[in-house]
Structures are given as structure tokens and as C-alpha cells.
Amino acid sequence: MTIIDRPEDSLAVHGLRVGGRVLRNPTTAQLYAAAIDRGEGVIAEDGPLVVDTGRFTGRSPKDKFIVRDPGSEDRIWWSDVNAEISEEHFDGLRGKVSAHLEKSDVYVIDAYCGADPTHRLSVRIITAHPYHALFAKTMFEPADAEDFEPEVLVLHEPEVEADPEHDGTRTGVFVCLHPTRGEILIGGTFYGGEIKKSVFTLMNDRLPLEGVMPMHCSANVSSDEKDVAIFFGLSGTGKTTLSADPERLLIGDDEHGWGDQGVFNFEGGCYAKTIRLSEEAEPEIWNAVHSFGTVLENVTVDERGVLDLDDSSKTENTRAAYRLERIANALPSRRAGHPRSVIFLAADAFGILPPIAKLSREQALFFFLAGYTSKLAGTELGVTEPQPTFSTCFGAPFLPQPPTVYAKLLGEKLERHDATVWLINTGWTGGPFGEGHRMPIQATRALLAAVLSGELHEADLREDPVFGFQVPVTAAGVDESLLDPRSTWADPEAYDRKARELAQMFIDDFRAKHADAPPEVAAAAPRPE
């Protein structure tokens, strides 16, 4: 760690004249000590740092704003997920955050977003909070070079709240991005996930300009590094769980790019949900959670330092941020070749979708643009039970450009590299949420293994009469009735009605959002009649 003797000069290039110390790239041990000294966290048994994020235990997507300026406004997807803010309001908020930072000791983390040196962002995070500095140090790849030149600057001060009437925000929370300047402001929320997701959003704006497909997905590869699989899905659908396979090498668990050389991870760490985490079912993640250097958000810990991962009294969205190398089978380079298998994960709260289905190219782009799943409890403020949702490209809150930009890139990659796309339902079967039950993880793992081994490529398939995709008739280790979701319902006619209802939801959502989609993609929609 470097403690800069003349802090008033050290960050002047960013318009900051800090009155306290400037601590640049501190060690994990130093950040632990500072966080405990400030009362930001406690050390649990086996060494993780446990923190409480207060009121906000998930992202606040409605409080994310992008500056409308001539340098980027023509390419931005102005929408509910990309609300605009004026440059004047951005500068006002920047002044508020800067003034608060100038009164404190500040922690500076220099890091890279992106494992591919030709497609990465150099990022500088400045915060007054050692816990958040440790979070950033954990989630990105640290850079200790003295001549480090940041392309993105994150000014982070959760103690500063916006005045909506004066600052042009919705509430006191603000996550403001300036694509042209490469600046991010975060205030009003202590939730660590806002830091990484805001940087990823800028990454998702830059990569398409370079012909690279940014993806909200996890990824792994076979032990010989020849067979890559990627897993698209929103939080809670199984991206982390299914990619952390002890028989394969983990590339990463959340965001990746797909370029001319293959797939690369955006981050240097993982940010996994921990609620009801099982040592038996997920030993790799369990071990990472119980390790020094890991940050646990909103996990219950008793006075002896013992964790209770089953306690959801603070939130269902308990989280662990840990370095990727904590996973014993993580791929050190965080880079691999082109995917052979592309998996779409959906937690279907209606209980309609089969546990697995094979998609044609056109169906793949339709389902990608639809991004159907269910928001799960805790991942966003106010979500207390699963809610059916359509989040285009399986990550609408993080896409600054129009969805068809990303769908076009995906279609080109699939065609060029002959990848097969599968839809896996990790949600409900035997009825909708409240009546049916969650898809057995053992069945999901067996079907995924059959995909990766190539077994399902040769399986007998049936066409679903409503959704049109191909469903395996049998699969080793999986109850045959599970592959026919209609047969798992007590009332098959009720299933038919709900299937038509869900199909119509797909159609209505697609028509409302994707009028610019190619005709052949729109024609791949379900058939409710």
C-alpha cells in the first residue's frame, strides 16, 4: 500500500484535493483492519469479513442514470433502464461526492476490468470506505503499476444522498454514468454490487464498438480447455452454481466478452448468493465463503463468529465476494476459446417450461431478446417472491445500447462458431410457484452433463406444440415425466391454459420492445393458438 504524503496533490488530476490520507492499493489485511476499526465489519470464523449494507440489500436499477451528451447519446438505448440525466445535474452530484471525499481518508483501487489485454478497461475506484475498497479489489484485477492511467473513474460515497428536486434524480440513491468522460458516481447506497455492475455497464457500451459481444453469463471449460460452455441468466437462476463444476475449469461467474479469440472474464472475482448454501451441494463456493479475504454482505454471524447461511432475516440476497482463485478449479488466465454450448437459464415461476430444450438459431435470438425468467426474492429492492419478468438479453439493466445490437452480435458468433443453444429451466415444475416445486438440482446437473458430453445432441426430440423448441424424450438419470412438464401437473388442462398465457406474454412483450428485430427472429415466437 502507498500512503501518499501530499494528498492534496495526489488526486488533483481528478479534481479532488483530499484533506486526509490517500491510501493507494492497500493490502487485504490493511483493509480488514481499517474496516473493523471503523465498525464497518466483523471477522467471522475461518476469516471472511462480514458487513451490513443497511437499507439497500440489492441493486436499485431505477436509480441508474446515463448522462445525455453529444458524444454518446445517439448510441444509447434510452429507456426505463437507462434514464437520462443532464450533464449539469451530473456535475452537481460530482461536486457533492467530491466534497465529501475531500474531508476523509480515501482508498484508491487501481484495477482492470477484462482478462483480455486487448479488450479491457483500466478502472480507478475512489472511496472513503475500506469495505468497498476491498470489494473492488476482490472483484476486479488489481493493477499496481505506478504509471497506471485510468480510463474509468468511480467516485463512491454512499453517505452522500441526492436531493431529487435539485439533482434530477428519483430518490436519494444515484448511480450515474458518463460514457464519454468514463466517470461513474455512486451515492445513497452501501450495496457493493452497484460498483461492479456500473463498471460492467460501461464495458457493455465499449465492447460492441470493437466487435466484441458482452454477455451477462458465467462460463467454464473442460479440463483440456477445448470445450467451452457459457450460461446466460439473471441473478438466482443458477449461473454461479452450474458453472462451478468440479469436473471443469471455471472461467468466471457473471460477465464475459466473446471476441475473435474466444471468451474472457470481465472480473477477477465472484459475487455469489449464499442464502441456504449447502456444503454438500456446492463445496467449491462453500469453501470460498469460509475464507480470509472474502467479503460477506448481510450474512448473519453470531457473537462467536459463526455464520448462519440459512438466515434470511436481513435479505434473501446475502452475498459473498471472493477472488476467483478461491475456486480450486478456476482457470488462472480467465480466458478460453469459442463456446460449443450456449445455455439460457430461466427460473420459470409458471412451471411451464421443460427442464431443457434445444433452440434453433432464430429461436435462440428470440429467447435472448425476450430474456424470460423470474426475479427472485432479494435481488432487487421490493422483490419478496418470484415474479415473472422479461429482461432482454438476460441483463437489460446493464445494457447501454439497444438490445438488437447485442442480439446481432450473438447471432454472428453462433453462426461463425457453430455453437448449439439450450434453454434450461431451473424454476418450477408440477405447477406454478406456490403449488409446484423447484426443479431438482440433480436433474438439472444430469441434463447439463448430457449436453456437455454430447449425449443430448443425439437424443430423440419432440417439438413443443406451443413454444416450438425441441425437447428430449429421455435422458439418462432424469425421470422421464419431468421432461414432459404437462404430465407433472395435477390438472393437464390447467397446464395448457397457463402455457398459452405464458406464450402470449412472450409475444406481447416482444412486440412492445423489439419492433426492430429481424422478421425471421420475430417469426420464432411461441404459438399460443
Q: Which of 120, 206, 319, 358 is catalytic?
A: 319
Cβ–Cβ < 8 Å for 298, 44: no
Q: What percent of the chain has pLDDT over 70?
A: 96
Marked catalytic residue, from 137, 239, 290, 335 = 239
Selected from 3.90.950.10, 3.40.50.280, 2.170.8.10, 2.60.40.3880, the CATH number assigned to the domain covering 271-326 reads 2.170.8.10
Q: Of the listed 96, 197, 323, 514, which one is catalytic?
A: 197
82-110 pLDDT tens trace: 999 999 999 999 999 999 999 999 999 99
User: Does residue 3 surpass a pLDDT of 90?
Assistant: no
The yes-or-no answer on residue 80 being catalytic is no
User: Would you place residue 381 in the very low, low, confident or very high pLDDT band (cuts 50, 70, 90)?
Assistant: low
| 235 is a catalytic site residue | yes
User: What is the amino acid identity at position 510?
Assistant: F
Question: What is the pLDDT at residue 374?
Answer: 76
314 within 8 A of 56, measured Cβ to Cβ:
no
Report the distance separating Cα 144 and Cα 382, nearest Å: 40
Rounded distance between C-alpha atoms, residue 473 and residue 467, angstroms: 16
Exactly one of 198, 235, 373, 429 is catalytic; which is it?
A: 235
Selecting among 178, 206, 216, 340, the annotated active-site residue is 216
Do the strands 106-113 and 141-142 form a parallel or antiparallel pair, or are they unpaired? antiparallel
Angstrom distance (rounded) from CA 372 to CA 345:
9
The catalytic residue among 57, 237, 240, 404 is 240
pLDDT band (50, 70, 90) for residue 378: low
DSSP β-ladder status, 262-265 and 255-259: antiparallel
> How far is the C-alpha of 129 from the C-alpha of 231, rounded, in Å?
33
What's the mean pLDDT in 409-435?
A: 95
Between CA 271 and CA 524 the distance in angstroms is 34
Q: What is the pLDDT of residues 190-205, one digit of tens each?
A: 999 999 999 999 999 9
What's the confidence (pLDDT) of residue 373?
87
Confidence of residue 386 (pLDDT cuts 50, 70, 90): low
Active site residue 453: no
d(CA 224, CA 477): 26
Prediction pTM value: 0.92
Task: Reply yes or no on whether 129 is catalytic.
Answer: no
> Taking the CA atoms of the chain, what radius of gyration do you get in angstroms?
23
Q: What are phi and psi of 100, to 5 degrees?
A: -70, -40
Does residue 6 carry a pLDDT above 60?
no
Distance CA(481)–CA(39), nearest Å, equals: 53
Per the model's pLDDT, the better-predicted residue between 173 and 7 turns out to be 173
To the query of whether residue 55 is one of the catalytic residues in this protein, the response is no
| Lowest-confidence segment of 35-44, 137-146, 421-430 by average pLDDT | 137-146
Q: Which of 225-229, 230-234, 317-321, 413-417 has the lowest mean pLDDT?
A: 230-234
Q: What is the mean pLDDT of the chain?
A: 93
DSSP state of 330: B
Is the pLDDT confidence value at 7 over 80? no
Q: Tell me the per-residue pLDDT of 479-499, one tens digit each, with 9 for 90 and over.
A: 999 999 999 999 999 999 999
Residue 9: pLDDT band by 50, 70, 90 thresholds? low
- Answer yes or no: is pLDDT of 29 > 90: yes
Instruction: Tell me the average pLDDT across 45-65.
Output: 96
Residue 234 is predicted with a pLDDT of: 81
Q: Identify the pLDDT of residue 375.
A: 67
Choose which CATH entry (1.10.357.10, 3.40.449.10, 3.40.190.10, 1.10.8.60) describes domain 2-39+60-190: 3.40.449.10
- The residue ranges of every structural domain in the chain are 2-39+60-190, 271-326, 338-522
Q: How far is the C-alpha of 220 from the C-alpha of 249, rounded, in Å?
A: 5
Other beta carbons within 10 angstroms of residue 509's beta carbon come to 17
Q: Is 59 labeled as catalytic in the residue annotation?
A: yes
**Spatial CB neighbours of 29, under 8 Å, sequence gap ≥ 6:** none
Q: What are phi and psi of 341, to 5 degrees?
A: -120, 130
pLDDT by residue (tens digit) across 323-365?
A: 999 988 999 999 999 999 999 999 998 999 999 999 999 999 9
Host H or E run for residue 486? helix 485-488
CA dist list (Å): 389 to 19, 334, 432, 466: 47, 31, 14, 19
108 contacts 22 by C-beta, under 8 angstroms = yes
**Class of the 338-522 domain?**
alpha beta
pLDDT-derived band at 4 (thresholds 50, 70, 90) equals low
Catalytic residue among 167, 254, 348, 464: 254
Residue 135's H or E segment, with its range, is helix 130-139
Strands 461-463 and 470-472: what pairing? antiparallel
Which one is catalytic: 24, 59, 132, 156? 59
Asked if residues 412 and 401 have their Cβ atoms less than 8 Å apart, the reply is no
Q: Flag whether pLDDT at 144 surpasses 80.
A: no
